A and B are shown apart, each in its own frame.
Chain A
Amino acid sequence: MSTVPSRTVPYQPGLSGDVVAGLLNDGHAEGVARAAVGEAVRRGARLRFVQVVDEGLSAQERADADQATFRAAVRALRGVRGIPCRFEVVTGDPTPTLLELTRGAAALIVGDDQDTGQQIARRCIAHAECPVVTVPFHAA
């Protein structure tokens, strides 16, 4: 039996929960997005790029943040064909927003923000229903 995973299109409709990439406009979105793409390919899952933006941003700031993370996500998808994705921009406090969005998900990928004092990754690991993968910033 062939067990060589095909590099592209191992996506299996409806069989796995989504892989969620928790993107923040902190300059590390591309590293997180890339790790999430790898995870989605491995699991044959749909990939949801979720950008969480702070409340109180102006429309322009929100649009800029959206554009920056969208670019990062598209760059991360380079060379990967047939992985279905979805792009979302959600306003709110990152941790509860991500916890809410990852109900029923297969995995959550976030940047490891240990050194920034934000501790989003740590809180997600503690409370998320799904496995959480943290991406060290130096790798991003």
Chain B
Amino acid sequence: MHENLHGLRMPRSADSAATLLGAVLDVGRGLQLPDVLTHIVRSACGLVGAHYGALGVLRPDGQGLMEFVTEGFSREMVQRIGSPPVGRGILGLLISHPEPLRLSRLSEHPSAVGMPPGHPPMTTFLGAPIRVRGEVFGNLYLTDKVGGLDFTDDDEALIVALATAAGMAIDNARMLHNARSGRQWSDALREMSQALLSGRDQRSALSMLVERAQQAAEAELAAVALAGEDGQLVIEASTGSDPRARLIVGTPLTEPHWVTVLDSGEPLLLLSREGEAVTDSLAAQLREASGLPAHGQTAIVPMTVGSGSLGLLVVGWGEGESHTAYDAAEPLKQYADLAAVTLMAATAQHDRARMIVLEDRERIARDMHDVVIQRLFATGLGLQSASRVAGHPFVQGRLAEAVDELDLAIKDIRAMIFGLHQPGTAVLSDELVELVESFSDPLGFAPTVVIDGNLDDSTAVDEGLRLDLLAVVREALSNVARHAQASSAEVVSVLDRVSLTVSVQDDGIGFVDTGRRSGLANLADRARLRGGDLALRSPVRDNRGTTVVWSALLHPKGLR
């Protein structure tokens, strides 16, 4: 007897109920959609004893199949058949009429269109739609029941029940994937904008930008090229699963097509397949230089602010094709545009700090010119007229000397004013970044710098402190290069109202007492002179790493 349970016809025997339960549990295994689909087809074949099984996933527009997962076909068979079906004939019938369908002779159905050459002959057929949240997701197709038998009523009921469970499993896998990739992108966006605005030097911020892009897009390569003032695009940061990906940093993108994409502001998704000519010079050269196969998917995404673009984000995936690249197209564009806005903001921040220094210098120069020189000049004139009325030759001589001195002083001041106007005068934050970058070679990696607070404010950081800061960083980094065997190092400088603290941390083998501590002792002396301190901590974590923290008060003698 048939029982009616939630509209499903349940199979008669307890045996098949148990098999169904097993199949349903099987279908629920695995969290990734491709695994889930494979499980569904395999379970369906086992459940009704079908020789061949397939699951066709409907295109979003419902007009054909976009994916075809099979069971029972050998690798050679799949190769012989060639491209998967697009959903015509019986497959199409299930698409246009999503109802279970059972046939004894597949080829005799009026909708049959025949099999492609190389396709194994098939006779009996059972098909059923899989619905996800009420919409048809795809269809289960089973053929050739073992023993040459027809599929039965029971088989149909079992497959319909399995399809219901399959729909739920697919829904779960999809939701999980969407949630994961959505979270990855939002994490990437947040971390990238924080890195760019935290005062980190541009190079390490850009490294962070490409690393997060590569992770979130599940890609093999991510690189960023920025346009210089001359419009020339140069790769500023690059990362990938192959270590060669880092070597393309500094490469100019000379091919004019890059600039065309940059100017268009529109992302481009390139796809070349194995066997095709590598005329696609745009992506192929870059891919090969980064250790990727020349063929595959590559996204070129302009980083747009307003009507202009600052640069390009280039993301490459491995050989072959996957949905990942297409799913990433939209979030990548958002990511690139936010990166552009953030880069602009970071540059503005840096420029503002520099502007404050320049304005300060301008004001001092103006004051010296307008006030100090005028006063000295007036004093000089006063002395000159005084010397005319002074009777004594000795007094006259002293007054003339004083006037000459004033003249010299005025000349000196003019020279200083001229010096203040010189644009090439370095600012400390640039000097620090340059110094740290100069250690890339001896260290074998690029150390990062984080600058918190305006180091370029000369009223807070005087000349002595400037020299101390640079000496501390130089000494600490050369220690890392000589002894630490580290793979990364970070310099953090924090300036607040009362003190300057700079720390240099590495992930090396920990502090090695070489007996030669004069460098560190010297640093400690410098700190103490300024009411500060030098602290050395090692190991930092996991029995590795060293941190040197050097601090100094801004105005130790209470001068200001």
Contact = CB atoms under 8 A, between A and B. Distances in A.
Interface of A: 1-6, 8-16, 44, 46, 63, 67, 70-71, 74-75, 77-79, 81-90
Given A12-B66, A67-B260, A79-B266, A86 B280 contact: yes
Contact of B330 (A10, A44, A78, A82): A82
B59 A81 contact: no
Given A1-B135, A12-B59, A14-B321, A81 B333 contact: yes
Nearest to B131: A1
Interface residues of B, number: 42
18 contacts: A1-B62, A1-B135, A1-B136, A3-B62, A9-B330, A12-B64, A13-B66, A13-B321, A15-B64, A15-B65, A15-B67, A44-B66, A74-B268, A78-B266, A83-B269, A84-B269, A84-B271, A86-B280
A89 B279 contact: yes
A71 B256 CA distance: 10
A6 B63 CA distance: 12
B61 interface: yes
Nearest to B322: A13
Contacts of B558: none
A78 B260 CA distance: 12
B267 interface: yes
B114 to A, nearest CB: 19
A3 B190 CA distance: 36
Given A1-B135, A16-B86, A11 B61 contact: no
Given A78-B266, A79-B266, A86 B330 contact: no
A78 B270 contact: no
Interface in B14-65: 59-65
Interface string B256-294: 110011001011111110001101101000000000000
B454 to A, nearest CB: 41
Q: Name the residue among B60, B135, B333 with the largest chain A CB count within 10 angstroms.
A: B60
Contact of A88 (B67, B136, B280): B280
A139 B280 CA distance: 29
Of all A-B residue pairs in the complex, the 5 with the closest CB atoms, nearest first, are: A84-B271, A12-B66, A5-B61, A82-B329, A13-B321
Contact of A77 (B84, B266, B276): B266
A132 B169 CA distance: 42
B309 interface: no
A90 B322 CA distance: 28
A121 to B, nearest CB: 24
Interface string B135-150: 1100000000000000
B294 to A, nearest CB: 12
Contacts of A1: 62, 98, 135-136
Given A3-B63, A12-B66, 14 more contacts: A1-B135, A3-B61, A10-B60, A13-B326, A14-B84, A15-B67, A15-B86, A44-B66, A46-B271, A74-B264, A81-B269, A85-B271, A86-B271, A87-B279
Contact of B270 (A44, A71, A79, A84): A84
Nearest to B83: A14
B546 interface: no
B482 interface: no
Contacts of A11: 326
Contacts of B333: 81
A84 B63 CA distance: 20
Contacts of B268: 74, 77, 85
B323 interface: yes
A88 B284 CA distance: 12
B322 A70 contact: no
B297 interface: yes
B219 to A, nearest CB: 15
A70 B271 contact: no
A80 to B, nearest CB: 8
Nearest to A77: B266
A13 B327 CA distance: 12
B257 A67 contact: yes
Contacts of A77: 266, 268
A69 B110 CA distance: 48
Contact of B260 (A5, A10, A13, A71): A71
Interface in B95-114: 98
Contact of B264 (A14, A44, A78, A89): A78
Nearest to B325: A84
Interface in B316-337: 321-323, 325-327, 329-330, 333
Given A16-B86, A74-B264, A77-B266, A88 B61 contact: no
Contacts of B67: 12, 15
Nearest to B332: A81
A81 B280 contact: no
Given A1-B136, A2-B135, A10-B61, A15 B266 contact: no
Contacts of A67: 256-257, 260
A49 to B, nearest CB: 10
Contacts of A71: 260
A16 to B, nearest CB: 7
Contacts of A14: 83-84, 321
A121 B65 CA distance: 31
Contacts of A2: 60, 62, 135
Contact of B329 (A9, A10, A74, A78): A9
Given A44-B66, A75-B264, A81-B329, A6 B270 contact: no
A59 B77 CA distance: 46
B297 A87 contact: no
A5 B61 CA distance: 4
Contacts of B86: 15-16
A13 B266 contact: no
Contacts of A15: 59, 64-67, 83-84, 86
Contacts of B276: 86
B270 A86 contact: yes
